[in-house]
Amino acid sequence: MSAALRSFESQWRARARDALQPIREAAMQRFLKLGLPSLRDETWRYTDLRALAEQSFREAGCVTSGAPTPGAALSLVHGEQHAATLTMINGCPMLHAGLPEMDGIEVDSIRGLYDRDPKRLRQFFGSATDADQRRWVLLNTALFIDGLYLKITKPVPTPLVIRHLSTGDGAQGRDGAQAAHPRVIIEAGPGASAIIIEHHLSEGDITPLNNSNTHIELGKDAQLEHYRVYATGAGATHLDSLDIHQSQDSRCRQFTIALGGGLVRSSLEARLNQPGASLDSYSLLVGHQDRHVDCVNIVTHAAPNTRSRQTARAIAGDVSRVIFNSKVIVNAGANDADSKQSCRGLLLSPNAEIDTRPQLEIHADAVKCAHGATTGRLDPDMLFYLLSRGLDRETAQSLLVYAFLADVLTGMSVSSARSAIENALISQLPDSQTLRKFR
Partner 1 sequence: MLKISDLTARVAGKEILTGVNLTVNAGEVHAIMGPNGSGKSTLAQVLAGREDYEVIRGSVTFEGKDLLAMPAEQRARAGLFLGFQYPVEIPGVNNVYLLKAALNAKRKAAGEPEVDAYEFLALIRQKMKFMQMSESFLTRGVNEGFSGGEKKRNEVLQMLILEPKLAILDETDSGLDIDALKVVSTGVNSLRDPKRAVVLVTHYQRLLDYVIPDQVHVLSGGRIVKSGDKSLAQELERRGYDWVMGAQVA
| Binding stretches for partner 1 (CB under 8 A) | 379-382, 384-393, 395-396, 399-400, 402-407, 438
Distance CA 268, CA 242 (A): 5
CB of 404 to partner 1, least distance (A): 7
Are the C-beta atoms of 284 and 311 separated by less than 8 Å? Answer: no
3-state secondary structure 93-125: ECCCCCCCCECCEEEEEHHHHHHHCHHHHHHCC
CB of 426 to partner 1, least distance (A): 14
CB of 391 to partner 1, least distance (A): 5
The smaller minimum CB distance to partner 1, of residues 306 and 434, is found at: 434
The smaller minimum CB distance to partner 1, of residues 113 and 435, is found at: 435
- Please count the CA atoms within 13 angstroms of the CA of 160 that sit on its side-chain side: 24
DSSP for 66-90, written as a single string: S----TTPPPSS-GGG-SEEEEEET
The smaller minimum CB distance to partner 1, of residues 251 and 344, is found at: 344
The smaller minimum CB distance to partner 1, of residues 255 and 404, is found at: 404
DSSP for 360-389, written as a single string: EEE-SSSEEEEEEEEEESS-HHHHHHHHTT
β-bridge partners, 418:
none
Are the C-beta atoms of 141 and 23 separated by less than 8 Å? Answer: yes
Which secondary-structure segment (H or E) carries 23? helix 21-34
CB of 282 to partner 1, least distance (A): 14
Are the C-beta atoms of 160 and 124 separated by less than 8 Å? Answer: no
Are the C-beta atoms of 236 and 210 separated by less than 8 Å? Answer: yes
Residue 137: CB atoms within 10 A of its CB come to 27
Are the C-beta atoms of 162 and 197 separated by less than 8 Å? Answer: yes
CB of 225 to partner 1, least distance (A): 22
CB of 412 to partner 1, least distance (A): 15
CA 2 to chain centre: 27
CB of 382 to partner 1, least distance (A): 5
